[in-house]
Structure 1
């Protein structure tokens, strides 16, 4: 009998590593599933270790141990580790060596150019590094990075101590750069940017937001043969007079961002976009007024697919000129644009019928007539944002579900929509995101229609929608089992019954119940035990949640990364005592009434 038992083979042993790797590939979006897989048996534990290529440790003390288990890591994200010292970077470099391809240090502190030197010296295969928000890094760190000859993607946003000298070192040493972000690098001027453009000919994406630059550096930039994305947001030194002196245009550019460039009018824009045959996306948010002249300079940009004019003052003639473009727009954003009227918007949507995304947030002059034109003309809409369009009557919302059944995102926050409108919208079976905050005319009946008709819903916002009770939340929890985010803040009618219902939504990642005075530790315990993937939790001003709710939260919410609380310090100590292994070096910082919790400790 013993020999017979020895001959029994597990069916999993018959699977090759390649087949198991293919299974793991399908679990990439579900961290808990991969963890369960690795704990099934020793062979699966080993295979999962060999398969993993990306790692995001919760704290720096775990890094060395994890890298010893996962020997083939090529992408290391340390954004959850606020304390990363030079020794940590040395150990990372020693363990990964040439296998490491990218590292994210955008939220890490305490390391210096010495730690970076270890990475560069031992990780010859490094092609991407993110050092954003390291305001202490200076030109010495840039000089070290210049030794990374294979570097292709470099992010230095808010590295405010780096100057033209450091950027010059990078330009000379890193000739293979394809993406460079220098946003808020306030000591970098035309000289540094010009050096990058002249030396790094492979650049595809360049972010120069808020730099003290002028048109002097634009000439070499526009000569980059492969440049596709150029961001010049908030650069006041760029103006019409300077742009008029440009002798070159960049015909490879696909995305141009001139947001908050108040000194660029249609005159400068025409010089910058002249010859840009492949331009697909243009962002002019919070810039000069959109007039007929502004629109006409883009009349022949036939490849333009997306334009964002958020916060701009628009004229009727300007909007109509956009409607006459040769291009067939797929995305248009007019959020917070003053001057948008029924007449101009109706004309525009009747000519751009292929629109897939439309944002008319806070366009307070439009009425039922605009919605009628939008829904009849743009039947392929996938995203419609129309928060705070206060003159639109409740009857208009029935048109949305009747005509735009391909919608995946709908934002009707602070509008007059009622249950009949929700009943119509429930026809949009592909809906993933629905925002109904401050909608005072909706009740459980309307929400039940949504639950029955939109089973794919992942995000639901019911902030201050006071007509919703436990019954409506129960309907959503039952009808939308893949729900990932819900906001039911400031609703006195929400009780523990709602949280118990939501605890059945196993994919729930974000829950906001701030100011729900009728929920207690009973409901929070149910959420903690049922929603193991919870990452964001807001329980501020939930006065009936006490220590009994915090203990299950600490025990079961192992993925919790952000929490908003307003308890006394002694109640938070409970959370600390259970979660101390996941807390960073700031765990002993005293708690105050409105502290913000993260796995790295309290941030002020």
Structure 2
């Protein structure tokens, strides 16, 4: 206290009003920076609490104290809580009823219709997300329909919602965004009522539902509809799409991927009207034929075209290029018939292309890459996994010309160190995938580490030439890395983990089957990587309790861990189970007793998913399994050889 008083006398910052300090805090968008700011003194902490409007809660038992501490909360995320009870929702209503605008409870269990009725007391709610809350049904949706200010509602995978519940939403006149993906209990009647009542809807997702042409036709009433997603709606045909053309004049994005009964004719009829589509996804639509690509000559407004898994010829790609002159993104992943001539035809016309996906287009060669490098110098994303005919020379051309690349996927390509050195010219690179590239070594990685300082994600899966020196070069240069995958890089040792411990922003680390990794290396990570959320050390046989204990002490944000086939015993198991944030554990073939499993699984209150050996289904007390399932934990039983 004396020290704080002394600081007040010496520093003019104490003369600033709370409003001035809140303005300073508002200029710190990074979460880590904000946390550091709050630790300066009690005044800074109180100022932050008084102005905070968003809270992501990890444990429901502290909900009420948190709501008391932050009196200005407008957005509340409960998605990291396994169980959200009716009492929790009642507390939310009690403390935030006049302010709460947004609430997310993705994959949570525990609440009933009573909790939802409490939630409706937050009368200014605009955004509700209960995706994967399988207990939500018609009664809950009817309760939500009382929210007159509701603008966004996501009910994805709420399979008990039927037409009866959906029809009640017609009272929400201001509804603008509606997510119904995987709501398999829905039919046309509910969709029709929503279309009649919610005239301001501009985004609707009906993917994987039973909607048919009749329900789709009713969407023509939505004059403001901009985005429509119908993935795998097998009851939708060309007739339904043709009905849209008379009403949805503002439609900009259409996704009919995997709609098996949609053909070229339906797309032509829809786009033949005054509809000005900007994005079109036809992935895995088997009835798409050559006649459609000729119609692309008229679609001058198209900026995104996705044709993954379709059969496309060279002439069709050229038609896309000559017609869609504003094209910014083209996805041809796993397409049949894509050759050099087709790629040349499209990229030489669409010189403003920013994203190109050629994944598994196995017939393209350096000729195609030369055309990309020459014509699309502003390219931001290039994905070409498993393009085996491309050589290092072609990749060198990409590195020399496409210097603005931010995403590059060269998994299973003929990449070598010279190619990596050329790619090092792309100083804005944020994602680099070089898995299954057997010829890259320290020399190539050193060039990336020296220049690509903005790199956030690096995937070197099964690139066996990578050594500790290469990892050190990356870690010392790319200090902002958040995601690293070194699985099956069998040459790396604990020295690599000592280098990776320099990455203070690391959130995801995969080390599967890195057989030389030990608990000592994991301890380095536990001591330094405070923000780590996901760790995979499956088949790291020398990782045991010592490493796991270090993780439990240092990585308090760890949410997902794979310890299968490691040397972890009861002590390590209990250490992980007592971590407050852990949500997903894979524990196949670990040296843990059945009694410890029972104690640990019950102690882990945040657990959402766990993978166990089938034999434990008999060894664990039935009461333990029942309690876990009632709590909302998903148990996956695996039959795996030791």
Q: Under a length normalisation based on structure 2, what TM-score does the superposition of the two structures give?
A: 0.89
Q: How does 1:16-415 map to 2 (within 5 A)?
A: 16-30=17-31, 32-120=32-120, 122-171=121-170, 173-244=171-242, 248-288=246-286, 290-415=288-413
The alignment partner of 1:324 has SS state of helix
- 8 Å CA contact 1:197–1:221 kept in 2: the answer is yes
Distance change (3 Å), C-alpha of 1:382 and 1:139: same
What is the SS of the residue equivalent to 2:98?
helix
For the 8 Å contact 2:101–2:124, the answer to whether it is kept is yes
**Equivalent residues of 2:544, 2:569 under 8 A apart:** no
Would the aligned equivalents of 1:83 and 1:109 in 2 still touch at CA under 8 Å?
A: yes
Tell me, what secondary structure is at the counterpart of 1:8? helix
**Residues 545 and 569, structure 2, Cα contact 8 Å, conserved in 1:** no
Deviation string for 1:1-49 (max 9, x for gaps)? x9x979825332123323322332233332x332332222111111010
* RMSD, aligned CA: 2.4
| Closer/same/farther in 2, CA of residues 271 and 81 from structure 1, 3 Å limit | same
Asked whether the 8 Å contact 1:565–1:593 carries over to 2, the reply is: no
Deviation at 1:306, TM superposition (A): 0.6
Counterpart secondary structure, 1:98: coil
Distance in structure 2 (CA, Å) of the matches to 1:6 and 1:543:
52
* Contact persistence 1:293–1:318 (CA under 8 A): no
TM-score by length of 1: 0.94
SS at match of 2:420: helix
275-284 vs 303-312, which deviates more?
275-284
> How far off its partner does 1:578 sit?
4.8
The answer to whether the aligner puts 1:441 opposite 2:439 as a matched pair is yes
Mapped partners of 1:164, 1:485: distance in 2 = 42
For the Cα contact (< 8 Å) 1:291–1:318, is it kept in 2?
Answer: no
Query: Which position in structure 1 is the counterpart of 2:451?
Result: 453
SS of match in other structure, 2:297 = coil
State the Cα distance separating 1:534 from its structure 2 match. 1.0
Distance (whole Å) between structure 2 residues aligned to residue 86 and residue 98 of structure 1: 19
Gaps spanning 5+ residues in structure 2: where?
584-600, 617-630, 637-642
Report the alpha carbon displacement of residue 347 of structure 1 after superposing the two structures with TM: 0.8
1:310 match: secondary structure: coil
Shift in Å, 1:586? 6.3
Structure 1 gaps of 5+ residues are: none
In the alignment, what sits opposite 1:587?
A: 604
Partners of 1:179 and 1:302 in 2: how far apart? 27
Bigger Cα displacement from structure 2, 199-208 vs 322-331: 322-331
Residues 1:166 and 1:501: Cα distance change in structure 2 (over 3 Å): same
Alpha-carbon distance in structure 1 between the residues aligned to 2:29 and 2:613: 38
Instruction: Note closer, same or farther for the CA distance 1:357–1:327 as it changes in structure 2 (3 Å cut).
Output: same
